[in-house]
Amino acid sequence: MADISVDFAGVKLANPIILASGGPGWDGEHLKRCAKAGAGGLVPKSIGPPARWLQHPRTGRMALVKVGKTVIGMINLELFSTLPLEQWIEKELRIAAEGGAPIIASVVADPEPANTAKVAKQVVDTGYASMIEVNVSCPMPVEKVGMHIGRDPKLVAEQIKAVKEAISLPVSIKLSPNFAYIPELAKAAEQAGADAITATNSVQGLYGVDVETGKLVLPAFGGYSGPAIRPITLRCVAQAARATKIPVCGIGGISSWRDVVEYIMVGATTVQVCTAVMWRGLGVFKELADGLKSFMERKGYERIEDFRGIALKDLTTVEELAQRKPVHASVNEDLCTGCGVCERVCSYDAIKVVEGNAKANQELCDGCGLCKAWCPVEAIDLI
């Protein structure tokens, strides 16, 4: 029997699938429901913003990103929790805890680290939190919060030091995917005493324009989430896992058990899910946990540790790959239908359909792999 329980920086979770900070955890009652539906842990909407941010737009703040009719992501214009700190402390965290899943309380980083630490301590003093997640990564604020703190390793370290001095629970830092230098940021957090890294928040985005009116659909920079951002956030998780020895929680575009496995294979110990829960409901927690368990049983993995990080050993650089022996396209004529897709996408004129069958020219082929990626019947190999 596969065991999907995990130890995340000293916090024991029945499964590694955690509700991320966001809409589904806006108050205690909704957090409790997520726990009852099988979430391994709960991250409430980020607690403790300055009073002027205790509200978010109620002018329509979400829109789906589509390619044709296919939905690939979502942009939202939400800041932090709209409930005051006192309400979380007096009521909401207690109700959330009734669900039985550990609470990883997300705290808004204030430009003054001592203020962040003060909020973290008040939350911890309730006795309902098992861990603090410091949010230095909200992509929306224009003032000096969110990713304006999270882009600077020095500011990140100051936040962690202040929070660590104030509380004795483990502390994670939630990074932004909007910067290339995740290793530096993750290392700075680790050296300052962070117990874990949460990677990552949403990607900063601008939704789009109604071309008939020339008006922006969502007239502010927002947070891009959902399946489309997964390659970006997966990159951040791999970078954080390679750069540090502390556990990493992966977030971004998780919608299936396969995504969960991918994150674990690039080094995540736990994962968080937000958009998939908003789109498909609370059944997502059980679906992902059951899928993860079945996968592990099929592969003979007894524990998550058995396959955590296994994909990282193949991670190299583009420079190194450029030195390797080139491959070229080869067509399986039995499978080829002569559709011509490969000919259209080849920038090197190296593959042509002749008498109903694609023929690759080894001399011209540059080994890019685009024809293989597009072939609808998997008739092309790179050899």
Stretch that binds ligand SF4, among 7-15, 30-38, 295-303, 358-366 (CB under 6 A): 358-366
The residue type at 115: N
Residue 63 or residue 327: which is nearer to ligand SF4 going by CB? 327
Among 7, 112, 143, 366, binds ligand SF4 (CB under 6 A): 366
Residue showing tokens 């932004």: 176
Residue 85 contacts ligand SF4 per CB under 6 A: no
Among 11, 28, 53, 78, binds ligand FMN (CB under 6 A): 78
Q: Residue 253's binding partner, choosing from ligand FMN, ligand SF4, none, with beta-carbon cut-off 5 to 8 A by kind?
A: ligand FMN
Which position among 34, 138, 365, 375 bears the catalytic label? 138
Cβ burial of 261 (10 Å; 0-12, 13-18, 19+) is buried
Residue 291 contacts ligand FMN per CB under 6 A: no
Among 84, 293, 338, 352, binds ligand SF4 (CB under 6 A): 338
Residue 64 or residue 383: which is nearer to ligand SF4 going by CB? 383
Residue 222, token pair as written in the block: 């927002």
Among 100, 231, 283, 369, binds ligand SF4 (CB under 6 A): 369
CB half-sphere exposure, 76, CA atoms < 13 A: 16
Tell me how many degrees the CA angle 128-132-137 measures, rounded to the nearest 5: 140
**Residues binding ligand FMN: what is the number (CB under 6 A)?**
26
- Taking Cα atoms as reference points, which of 74, 83, 66, 72 lies closest to residue 31? 83
> How is residue 326 annotated by DSSP?
P
Contacts (CB under 6 A) with ligand FMN, residues 201-260 = 201-202, 223, 225-226, 229, 251-254
> How is residue 92 annotated by DSSP?
I
Residue 174, token pair as written in the block: 């939630």
Alpha helices (runs of H) in the chain, residue ranges in sequence order: 28-36, 85-87, 93-97, 113-125, 147-150, 153-166, 182-191, 230-243, 257-265, 275-280, 283-299, 318-322, 341-345, 370-374
Closest approach of ligand SF4 to the CB of residue 356, in Å: 9
Q: Residue 249 catalytic?
A: no
Closest approach of ligand FMN to the CB of residue 262, in Å: 13
- Positions touching ligand SF4 (CB under 6 A) are 329, 331, 336-342, 345-346, 348, 350-351, 353, 358, 360, 365-371, 375, 377, 379-380
Residues carrying an active site annotation: 138
